[in-house]
């Protein structure tokens, strides 16, 4: 049997980043804990401004940064939604799971919990995020604002449907000593209204874990939620080869999407666009 960790840098992330993620997987792997492994890996990606999570998160339309994250094991779940001014949202999601009676905490309540637990104030803003927002706002201003009524809340800024970038998540799955775990973290898609929530912090949508395996997704969050993509993949585990399940789900999905998953026979990944991945495995008796 192999203890294994698999992580991704988001759909659309450059394949050249796979070498970096391979290094992160090696550093993050904990041969005693699947949960520690996925959290360690996600923290490394949150701390790297290359990735859209933690430091490096995208700005919203109003210039603020709100982050989502989640962790899940076979017996537990914790997530945070729209949390601001902390460095590692995935750690706070873990604290929600382990230190509160709740599953999901959002906004100022999540931030109050963070401060109570000793999380220091941290500004995840970067020059990259500022430049990305300026580019999006310029594109919004040049588009016909009446094309899509779904985006009426942004009509003064234009039709955002063509501008949404799907690089919305980093994630990790692991199988260590007979147990599974998963973690995700995101700075969101772009452009976004303040308060927008994607798939990452929603169990069954952007993340799912159970006794059969662990799955995380990346792509257009709204579409992933509609399809409850990760639990759909999870429910198919055992019916056929894992790679076949991921390929079928990805190819039938409308829009860019990527999946990584692990079961007792190993791990696999599949995406409709380039997606950086890294992995580490260790043989056990």
What phi and psi, each to the nearest 5 degrees, are found at residue 163?
A: -105, -15
For the question of residue 169 being annotated catalytic, the response is yes
Whether 243 contacts 270, CB under 8 Å = yes
Q: State the DSSP code for 55.
A: T
Cα(281)–Cα(4) distance, integer angstroms: 4
- Choose, from 55, 169, 186, 250, the residue flagged as catalytic: 169
φ/ψ region of 205 (left if φ > 0, alpha if ψ in -120 to 50, else beta) reads: alpha
- What gap in Å lies between CA 5 and CA 163, rounded to an integer? 33
Cα within 13 Å of Cα(85), Cβ side = 12
Contacts of 39 (CB under 8 A, 6+ apart): 71, 90, 91, 94, 183
Which residues are known to be catalytic?
169
């Amino acid at each position: 049997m192999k203890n294994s960790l698999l992580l991704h840098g988001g759909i659309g992330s450059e394949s050249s980043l796979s070498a970096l993620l391979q290094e992160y997987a090696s550093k993050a792997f904990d041969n005693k804990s699947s949960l520690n492994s996925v959290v360690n890996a996600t923290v490394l990606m949150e701390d790297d401004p290359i990735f859209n999570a933690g430091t490096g998160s995208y700005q919203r339309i109003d210039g603020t940064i709100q982050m989502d994250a989640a962790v899940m094991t076979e017996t537990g779940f914790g997530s945070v939604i729209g949390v601001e001014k902390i460095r590692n949202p995935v750690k706070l999601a873990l604290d929600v799971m382990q230190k509160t009676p709740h599953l999901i905490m959002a906004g100022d309540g999540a931030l109050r919990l963070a401060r109570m637990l000793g999380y220091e104030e941290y500004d995840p803003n970067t020059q990259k995020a500022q430049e990305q927002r300026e580019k999006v706002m310029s594109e919004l201003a040049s588009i016909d604002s009446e094309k899509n009524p779904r985006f009426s809340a942004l009509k003064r800024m234009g039709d955002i449907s063509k501008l949404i970038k799907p690089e919305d998540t980093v994630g990790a799955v692991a199988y260590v000593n007979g147990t599974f775990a998963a973690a995700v973290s995101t700075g969101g898609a772009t452009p976004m209204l303040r308060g927008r929530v994607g798939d990452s912090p929603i169990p069954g949508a952007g993340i799912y874990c159970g006794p059969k395996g662990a799955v995380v997704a990346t792509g257009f969050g709204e579409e992933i939620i509609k399809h409850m993509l990760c639990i759909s993949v999870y429910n198919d585990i055992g019916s056929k080869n894992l790679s076949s399940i991921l390929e079928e789900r990805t190819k039938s999905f409308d829009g860019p999407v990527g999946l990584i998953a692990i079961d007792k026979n190993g791990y696999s990944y599949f995406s409709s666009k380039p997606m950086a991945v890294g992995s580490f495995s260790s043989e056990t008796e």
